[in-house]
Amino acid sequence: MVVTWLTTASGALAETLITNARIIDGTGAPAVLGSVRLSGDRITALGDLAADDADHIIDANGLVLAPGMIADLVLFNPDTVTDRATTGEPFAPSEGIHSVWVAGEWVLQEGEVSETFPGRVIRRTSAQP
């Protein structure tokens, strides 16, 4: 995960703590309640972490944090996720997704879609059985 936008006013890499998240690691294990610490552009710690030295704190209470999955980072509430897309509005954003970062850039924050398009499209070249 790369989050190069996390800097302090002095330009130093910022410490960001996402707290109270249900963390899914992609292994199939049950979600774990905990925190994720970001130091500048890297995840540096997972677990029960103190918030006393963080520059930014995001309270993910009731949300699921899935680093490295779906996009680079997705914060969502599984109880309220709803696909609102229709044939008439195929690009209507889903509800229940708090924030999405792709290639370290926020593309969705608290329901507001950004105009940036980081990352790249990966297309399948052949059908898989």
**pLDDT one digit per residue (tens) for the chain, 129 residues:** 333 344 444 555 678 888 999 998 878 889 999 998 888 767 888 888 887 778 888 888 988 888 766 457 788 888 888 999 999 999 887 888 888 888 777 788 877 888 888 877 777 777 665
Rounded Cα distance, 51 and 129, in Å: 47
Measured torsion, CA atoms of residues 61, 100, 12, 37, in degrees rounded to the nearest 10: 40
Length of the chain: 129
Q: 19 with 37: CB under 8 angstroms?
A: no
Q: Domains along the chain?
A: 15-113 (2.30.40.10)
CB atoms within 10 A of CB 108: 20
Place of tokens 């879609």: 113
3-class DSSP state of 83: coil
